[in-house]
Structures are given as structure tokens and as C-alpha cells.
Amino acid sequence: MKESEKSKKAAYSIDIAQKKTWYSPVAKIYYRARPSYPQEHISRAIALAKLSPDASILEVGCGPGNATVAFAQFGFLMKCIEPNQDFYHLAQHHCLAYPNVEIYNTAFEEWQMEANQFNAVLSANAFHWIPPDIRYARSAAALKDGGFLILLWNMTPEPRFEVYQAIEEIYQAYAPSLVRYEGAETQSEILKGFGQDIVDSGCFKELITEQIPCEVTYSIDEYLNLLSTLRKLETQTKELLFTRLREKLETFGDSIQLSFLSAVHVARKEG
């Protein structure tokens, strides 16, 4: 094996190891803290991918089952892959009512390939965690001829800009690396980039992208729980940051309105 290939393999191994534990501290609140994927996108994905009631779906990175349950309700045969053990157990619990769902505690990179077996490969806010030279080729290989890739995205929920301006100084003081505000225009560009990556992979064609603006209202506690699933922080830093954020946010009321773009990408397997 060439030295560059050894380095790449080592880097991927580290990445996989991180994915197996990355969300463990917040696994139990992730399912409730993250906003749901719009039913409109679920329905459109099923229609665009022409999924019949007996269709088979491979879900990559199912997490605790946020999107899994939304698709399982239609009765599809689902095999779901999740590297994090805490998420794996939560997904099993959340899918107890759906006997057609099987969940495997492994990474997509390590999953034993089942070639040409699935009508769709689904991933919700997880596909970007897999190296580009792996995620598209392995997804295409798992699909039957004419099968579809379905990617769901909920971008980062953000408060009104004036609220963000009020809390930005707190981030600067306690976690300057987390200072970031995207807004709808930037989120739209990011989603456009995700779609272009699908096209550039050469594995898929006929890309369809749909996105909608979403709004959710969270209590301050719910918002801080959400932040804990979006930002990895040392315990002491997190406690100081969240205490100051709570103090500032309470000056705006006991709830916070958040907005974000939600999108679905659907593309057919090339060939």
C-alpha cells in the first residue's frame, strides 16, 4: 500500500472512531432537540423516488431515528446504519413499532456491501460525514438499477439577526470559534453546493432539489439543548456559555423563534 493511501486510510479510521462517540454526550436529547423534517419533504421524496409500499430503503447515518420513523410509518423495508452505539440503541427503541426496520451498529464505510439491493438510499443530515469518494460510489453500488438517492437537510436553526447580535459577544468571550451566522441566503448557497456535489460525483443524474423556509419556536431550555447538539464544547466552557446565553435570552422573553431552510435532494442512479 502506498504511503498516501496508508495516510488516507488512517485518517478515515480516525474519522470513523470519532463518529462512534461524537454525539454520545447529547444522544438522549438529540431526538427531541432537533426540528422535525417537514412532512412535505418526506412525501415529495417518496413520490419523486417512486417508492412503492414494498420498497426497500438503506438509511445511512440514521442517528436516533429522526427521519427513520417518518419513513417507517409508510411500511417500507428499511436497513439503517448508525456508527454511534448510543444512537443505535435509541433508534432501536424509537422503531419498536416498525417490524420492517432493521438497525445496524456500524459505519457506512465499514458496512458489508449489499450490492444492487435497494430502491433508495436515504440520509438525513448525515451524508456529509462520509468521505466524498466513498459516500456516492457506495450508495450507487447499493442501489438497484434506476434506484434513487434521497438526502434530507435541515440547516442550522437561527434566531432573528438582532437576537444573534445580542448574544454574539457572549460567543466571542467564551467560544469564539463558534461565532457564525448564516442566514437564508448563505444556507441556500450551502444547499446548492450539496446538490452540485451529487452531480459532480458522476454516480447520479436527474437531480431534483426542493427547499422551504421553516420556523420553530423553542423555550430557552429547548434552544440550549439544541445548541448542545450543534456545538461540541468542553463541560466548563459549555456551563459558562449557556449561563450567559440564558441571561441574555431572557431579556427577549421566555421563548425564542428560530428560522432555517429545509431541503430535499433526489437523484437517480446513473446508468
pLDDT per residue, tens digit, the chain (271 aa), is 444 444 444 444 447 777 777 778 888 999 999 999 999 999 999 999 999 999 999 999 999 999 999 999 999 999 999 999 999 999 999 999 999 999 999 999 999 999 999 999 999 999 999 998 899 999 999 999 999 999 999 999 999 999 999 999 998 998 887 788 999 999 999 999 999 999 999 999 999 999 999 999 999 999 999 999 987 777 888 899 999 999 999 999 999 999 999 999 999 999 7
User: Is residue 79 domain-resident?
Assistant: yes
- Answer yes or no: is 98 within a domain: yes
Strands annotated E in the chain: 56-60, 77-81, 101-104, 118-124, 143-154, 158-159, 204-219, 255-269
| Cα-only R_g, the chain | 19
pLDDT at 237: 85
Continuous H helices in 23-79: 27-33, 39-48, 68-72
Residues 25, 66, 83, 176: what is their CA dihedral angle, to the nearest 10 degrees?
-50
Angle between helices 235-249 and 220-230 (to 10 degrees): 140
Residue 138's nearest CA partner among 161, 118, 162 is: 118
The Cα angle at residue 208 between residues 191 and 15, in degrees rounded to 5: 45
The pairing of beta strand 101-104 with beta strand 77-81: parallel
Which pLDDT value is given to residue 64?
96
Query: Considering the domain boundaries, does residue 76 fall inside one?
Result: yes
231 DSSP assignment = -
In Å, how far are 49, 103, 159, 166, 197 from 42, measured between CA atoms?
11, 20, 25, 36, 22
Q: What confidence score (pLDDT) does residue 79 get?
A: 98
Is position 254 within any domain?
no
- The set of residues, in sequence order, having a beta carbon less than 8 Å from that of 85 and lying 6+ positions away, is 20, 24, 105
Residue 6: the pLDDT is 45
- Three-state SS for 98? coil
In a domain? residue 160: no
* Structural domain count of the chain: 1
Decide if 253 is inside a domain: no
Can you read off the three cell numbers belonging to residue 197?
Answer: 456535489
Query: Residue 148's closest CA among 139, 157, 156?
Result: 139
Nearest of 67, 93, 89 to residue 23 by alpha carbon: 89
What's the confidence (pLDDT) of residue 20?
Answer: 76
Query: For residue 73, what are the domain limits?
Result: 3-155+183-214+261-269
> How deeply is 248 buried, as exposed, middle or buried, from its count of CB atoms within 10 A (0-12, 13-18, 19+)?
middle
The verdict on residue 248 lying in a domain is: no
Residue 250, in any domain of the structure = no
Specify the pLDDT at position 84: 95
Q: What is the CATH number of the domain that holds 21?
A: 3.40.50.150
Can you state the percent helix, strand and coil of the chain, rounding each to 5? 50, 25, 30
User: Of 161, 163, 76, 68, which Cα lies nearest the Cα of 123?
Assistant: 68
Backbone phi and psi for residue 123, each to the nearest 5 degrees, phi listed first: -150, 135
Distance between CA atoms of residues 222 and 225, nearest Å: 5
